[in-house]
Structure 1
């Protein structure tokens, strides 16, 4: 997982080395390594705009999807939708069609479960690493956290429904 860096400087280049324990940043540039370009956002954070691979592997990309794309995936019945809101939120507002609930605070332990226990607890088969998974929440913030978590586990087809439940309801 890439970490967002803070700095008071204008846009700059840094070198990033990937190790199994994470990414280490080195501001002293050499010609031997590929560089990553960061840019300044409104909140003085720098975000990655050029993606380079490390050790010939690249991280899975989290795709943001909107209402129309989610409806298309639901109609094609080719995606697992996981709502990461709490059970209390679901009871108060409602649920997305064909979605399953795994609250965000349970997600880390849920994806560590064996397939048998996962099925027993959540009533859906544990997804394989190539299955399309859409994460949703109220507004798309917690679902993005869920996306990052599962991509770190090696899941490759991960989507964040950025509009969340409130966006879904606004289209009704």
Structure 2
């Protein structure tokens, strides 16, 4: 079962560069809505492959160091469904601090007045 991340945790991420926020929506969805600050877009369909990339390839593809298995990694999507699947997938790959921002973009946009 996924650990749930709160809006407050996600809002505080710019103060925690050691934590990761991964948006598993499709790039076309981000064009429509925008994205949460600090998030990395890795669509759910390529998530497993991306999390298995060697560190140097991950960094060149996403512009950020690859998270270690111990880093906190929070997943979000539009409503939380894909994020829950992503969090479970990451856990199955050994990421022990995987979380699901259950409210995802919907909660973020509402609380940010977007």
CA distance in 2 between partners of 1:63 and 1:142 (Å): 14
Partner SS, residue 99 of structure 2: strand
User: Residue 79 of structure 2 aligns with which residue?
Assistant: 139
TM-score of the pair, normalised by structure 1: 0.61
Greater RCO structure (CA 8 Å; 6+ sep)? 2
Shift, 1:66, TM fit: 2.2
Counterpart-to-counterpart distance in 1, 2:72 and 2:60? 21
Which structure's residues are more often helix, by fraction?
2
Q: Which runs of 5+ in 2 are unaligned?
A: none
Which stretches of structure 1, 4 residues or more, deviate above 4 A after TM superposition? none
Q: TM (normalized to structure 2)?
A: 0.91
| Greater per-residue strand proportion | 1
- Consecutive unaligned residues in structure 1, runs of 5 or more: 1-60
Structure 1 match to 2:36? 96
Name the count of aligned residue pairs. 111
Shift in Å, 1:118 = 1.0
Question: How far apart in 2 are the matches of 1:69 and 1:115?
Answer: 26
Aligned-CA RMSD value: 1.3
